[in-house]
Every structure is written in C-alpha cells, then in structure tokens.
Amino acid sequence: MKKKRNPLAGIYSALIFLFLYAPIVVLIVFSFNSSKSRGHWGGFSLRWYETLFENSKLMDALQTTLSVALTSSAIAVIIGTAAALGMYFSRKRTRTLLMNVTSLPMLNADIVTGISLLLLFTFIGLKLGYTSLLLAHITFNIPYIILSVMPKLNQLDKNTFEAALDLGATPLQAFFKVMLPEISPGIITGFILAFTMSIDDFVISFFTTGADVSTLSVEIYSMSRRGIKPEINALSTLMFLAVLILLIIVNVRSGRDAQKREQERI
C-alpha cells in the first residue's frame, strides 16, 4: 500500500519556498517599476536597466567583482585541487588533521579573517588594492575547493591509478586521463561555490580593498548611506538570472554525465 501524502508537508514546503523567494520576486518586479518609490507601482518600464548601464561607478564595481571572482576561483581551483590530492595520498592521521585545519577558515568569523589579512598585508608592506583583494579571495576560496574535491577523491579506487602507472603511464598522464575525469564534477562544483562566495563577500573585501578599487558589495554598502538607488534592483535581477541559468546548465550536464555512467555500467 502506498502511504498517503500528508497535505501539511506540502503546505509547509510551500511556505518555506515562499519565505525564501518572495523577497527576490518582489525585487525582480520592482526592477521594472517606472517609479522611484519602493512601495508604489508606477507602471512597467525598462528605465532602471538603461540607467544601470549608464552608471559608471556600478559598472566599474561589477567589472572588478567579476574579474576578482573569476580569477580567484580559477587560481583557488588549481591550488585547492593540488592540496586535495596531497591530502588524499597522505596518511590517515595527517589527512584528518589537515582536513580539520582546512575547515577553520570557513568556521571562523569573516571579520576575524578580514582583519587578519589586513594586518598581514600591512605587515609585509603590500599596498591595499586589486592585488590584496585578489589574494584575500583566493585565501578564503581554497577551503571550499578542497571540501568539494575530497569526496570525489574518496570515491576513487586507488588501484585504477596504480594500474595506469603499471601500464606505462606517467603520474601526470594517469592524473589527467584517469583521476581528473572522475573528480571533475567536484572541481566544477567547487569553482561555482567559490565564484558565488567571492561575489557575495563583503566583510573580507571591505578590509582588504583599497580606495581606488571597489567591489559591488562595498559599492552598494557606500550607496546605502544615501539610499539604495532603483538600478540596484535591475542589477540584482540580472545577476540572479545569470546564476540561475548557470545552475540549470550545471545540473543538466551532471544529469547527462550520470546517465552516461549508468549506460556504461550496463
């Protein structure tokens, strides 16, 4: 017999999703509002999207944010994947210790990390600007890459790698032809997570950026003192749609890869 579905479970789920996404829906709707008022609908208009692309400060901040996010995520993927491989081939005690140490930056408060990096950059004489901001983002992105790649490495059979070496492959060839295809979903997930965290970050960016460089979060914070402009709604809508499309593409690709693996096993 099939279990009867509890209608309260559906209502509960609907309320949770409503609570999570209602603010985003309101933001998207009001990005097309011709009125400046956030509580009055003045009619449909693309006015704020036009104003957005004419706002040089916001465009510069967006360009800096995307540049730092993409560059830091790419570098963090290389360093984090290499670190995960080193931990994977280490002894169990060493691996456990390193995993615990890796988790500390994520559990630590952002303000502590931000102040620590600020003190470090000041101590070594590094001028605050794009370079310090990029280094800070690489630093807090690496643990997310490691935690995304390690589960995929743990699913691997070490005998496969050793078999590739026995068949004449070099360690580098064995990695690219045997290990990399298996752990690539973890690398992609880690990259997307790092990219999202980098765009979302405010506290660490606030402490490590200079006067001549501003990320989107820092720029919006400075604007909030004078009042949030309606073009921020338009910018947030575009960013939300871009992330949504990216997630759909990744999920579709993951589903196709899973189907291919199942077919190969059969």
Rounded to 5 degrees, φ, ψ at 33 are -85, 130
The pLDDT value given to residue 138: 94
**Do 92 and 100 touch, CB atoms closer than 8 A?**
no
Name 57's Cβ contacts closer than 8 Å, sequence gap at least 6.
214, 219
- Closest by CA position to 72, among listed 135, 27, 148: 135
Left (φ > 0), alpha (ψ -120 to 50) or beta: where does 108 sit?
A: beta
pLDDT in tens, the chain (266 residues): 456 667 777 888 889 989 888 988 888 888 888 887 777 777 888 888 888 888 888 888 889 999 999 999 999 999 999 999 888 888 888 888 888 888 888 888 889 999 999 999 999 999 998 999 999 999 999 999 999 899 888 888 777 878 888 788 888 888 888 888 888 888 988 898 899 889 888 899 999 988 888 888 888 888 777 777 788 888 888 888 888 887 787 777 777 766 776 666 66
**Do 41 and 166 touch, CB atoms closer than 8 A?**
no
* CA atoms of 141 and 75, how far apart (whole Å): 9
- Closest by CA position to 74, among listed 188, 152, 179, 172: 188
The pLDDT value given to residue 172: 83
Q: Is the pTM of this model over 0.95?
A: no
The structure tokens listed for 11 are: 């209502």
The structure tokens listed for 112 are: 């502590």
Classified as helix, coil or strand, 224 is: helix
**Do 242 and 84 touch, CB atoms closer than 8 A?**
no
Alpha-carbon distances, residue 221 vs 4, 202, 217, 225, 226 (angstroms): 50, 9, 6, 7, 10
Selecting from 1.10.3720.10, 3.40.50.300, 1.10.150.120, 3.90.850.10, what CATH number does the domain 56-229 have?
1.10.3720.10
| Number of residues in the chain | 266
Helix (H) / strand (E) element for 264: namely: helix 231-265
Rounded to 5 degrees, φ, ψ at 249 are -60, -45
The pLDDT value given to residue 69: 93
The pLDDT value given to residue 11: 86
The pLDDT value given to residue 258: 67
The pLDDT value given to residue 266: 61
Domain residue limits, the chain: 56-229, 232-266
- Closest by CA position to 138, among listed 77, 76, 85, 96: 76
